[in-house]
Structure 1
Amino acid sequence: MEHLLNENLLKFFTQYALMEGSTNALSIGGLKNLLQNQFAQYLKDTFSLDNLIKTMDKNNDGTVSFDEFVILIKKITGTSQ
């Protein structure tokens, strides 16, 4: 089951990254677009998306890798272990 989830996440991630000319990283803006378009049901009114994204960008390069993206999705959907 987790394999299927990761495949779908990879599909979304790659789709949005390609719009930015990459396949391995999303800009913060691209990540926000992806989250708002594909995961809006998990974003609460009081949800601090900016702060959460900052904590996920561990190396402060202004981009998010697929691994960072998966961690973020698991955190906002409540599926992290």
Structure 2
Amino acid sequence: MKTILTILFVLFIGLFAQAQDAKVEVKVAAQIESVVLVPSTIEATLNSSETKVARLYMDRNYKVKKALSFYTKANKTKLA
């Protein structure tokens, strides 16, 4: 009985929503702007003497997990 009432309620709401007049048209004024392209200068230095170190972690939350994995005295096992 509950399922039949639920199905009828859903159908009633769906038909009621379709019966609404949604013929409101909104006109948008188009605005034209000019764009000026500026040529960019890219300087690439090959064979530079700088050495940079890049670190690659398997997990993106590595630093967060490492910071949250601290140990306290309560974490230690106790002998009875």
TM-score, normalised by the number of residues in structure 1: 0.24
- Give 1 or 2: higher helix fraction: 1
Higher relative contact order (CA 8 A, sep 6+): 1
Which has the greater radius of gyration? 2
